[in-house]
Amino acid sequence: MSFEYATVTKALMFGIALTSVVAGIFDLKHYLNLQLVPHISKHHQYWRLFVHQFACASSSDLLLTELLLYNVGIPIERGFGGVKYASFFVISAVTTMLVSFVTLLLCQLTAVTRTTFNNIPAGPIAIIFAVVYQYMRLVPSAYHFKVFGVGMSDKIWVYAIAIQLALARLPSTLLPTVVGLFVGYLYRSDFLQLKSWRIPPKAVKLAEDWVKPLLGAEKPLRRTNRVLPGPRAQDGTRGSRRAVNPTDDEVITTARNSNTRRSLGTNMRTAHSGDSNTSRTEALSGGLHAADEAQDRSGAGPNANGMGGGMVRQWMSELASGARPVAQGGATVRAPSEGEVAILTGMFPDMDREVVLGVLQRSPSIEAAAETLLASQAAS
């Protein structure tokens, strides 16, 4: 999975990692922790409600946050679109900040919750779980499997990372986890009409002009469809070809070269306009030579396409020599290749070439021709 069509997720991952590293280098992590008592109630440091979501408290929290954001944020952004996903992230940040503050106040009503839920660790834990809720509701499972009879899906690995993050610093991480899931539910249900809000176009234009170029390329490299490596360039030879760039895609087509088509078309028109068989033969032979010369000029030798050139020349030879041979009963006799004739001539050196050629013409395959020649030797 790449960052294609996921520019906002890529920027968020870079931003969270950068702020976490900077806070650790300059020893600023103690400013990121949020405690109702004494930070809010006594010192009135309300800015901590906003700042504590910018960076993670430890490297383990940063790793789990980056893994969750990569596996959850990319499919959600591709489904929402970049502007809607960025708007959702801003709404989640503001809503989780307010809901967390209200939840901390409510936890002060009893003595047990007052001591258990007094602080919230640094990091965008609540925002990440708001994205996880969207992932749970919107992204379908790719496959299902069973472990000891228990049914699971491919999403279990994402949920395992989310559970690790929720249990990383119990009980303080439990509060932002519940708050994040609740905020994700509020956005999904659209109870407060939050889905319609979007980031202003000027802010989007500013981010596209100044932030997006800093992130680099987001589209994956296209894989080549070349199956075999191209031949090396051989200077000084008639059929030399240029060196093939492995990043270039091979053009797979059955069409002839334009020069070849023009040469063959000109000579075919000459053949049809003539009245004698001799003029047709000369025109087709001229078309064959013109096709070979056109292939040489275009940089493809006679064997550039494997056996394709031999088949074209064989077809042109058959057209130039007239009708194909006809066996008894009116059946068309196949034209054996020079390779087949050479193989059987080597296997039966005592037989004449004309005999071998005649057996090949009247046999459906080279194996049947070999059996016929063996039977004739055994009979003699």
For 298-315, the pLDDT digits (tens) are: 444 444 444 444 555 555
Q: Which comes out higher in pLDDT, residue 338 or 295?
A: 338
Considering 184, 200, 215, which residue would you say is the last residue of a domain?
Answer: 215
What's the Cα-to-Cα distance from 178 to each of 86, 167, 183, 296, rounded to whole Å? Answer: 22, 12, 9, 73
Q: Which two three-digit tokens encode residue 164?
A: 């690790």
Residues 344 and 297 in one domain: no
Q: Which comes out higher in pLDDT, residue 109 or 236?
A: 109
Q: What pLDDT is attached to residue 307?
A: 44
Q: Which two three-digit tokens encode residue 202?
A: 């000027």
E strand or H helix at 202: helix 201-210
Domain with 337 in it: 332-380
Length of the chain in terms of residues written:
380
Residues 175 and 286 in one domain: no
For 75-84, the pLDDT digits (tens) are: 999 999 999 9
Considering 322, 347, 371, which residue would you say is the last residue of a domain?
Answer: 322
> What is the rounded average pLDDT of the residues 190-206?
91
In a domain, 101, yes or no: yes
For 244-274, the pLDDT digits (tens) are: 454 455 454 455 455 545 554 555 454 445 4
Residue 102 burial (CB count, 10 A)? 10
Into how many domains does the chain fold?
3
**Is 60 exceeded by the pLDDT of residue 377?**
yes
Q: What pLDDT is attached to residue 305?
A: 44
CATH code of 97's domain: 1.20.1540.10
Residues 317 and 349 in one domain: no
Q: Write the CB contacts of 187 (distance below 8 Å, at least 6 apart in sequence).
A: 88, 91, 92, 95, 130, 134, 194, 195
Question: What sign has the CA pseudo-torsion 110, 113, 119, 120?
Answer: negative
**Is 60 exceeded by the pLDDT of residue 16?**
yes
Out of 21-35, 103-117, 263-277, least confident range: 263-277
In the structure, what pLDDT confidence band is assigned to residue 222 with cuts at 50, 70 and 90? low
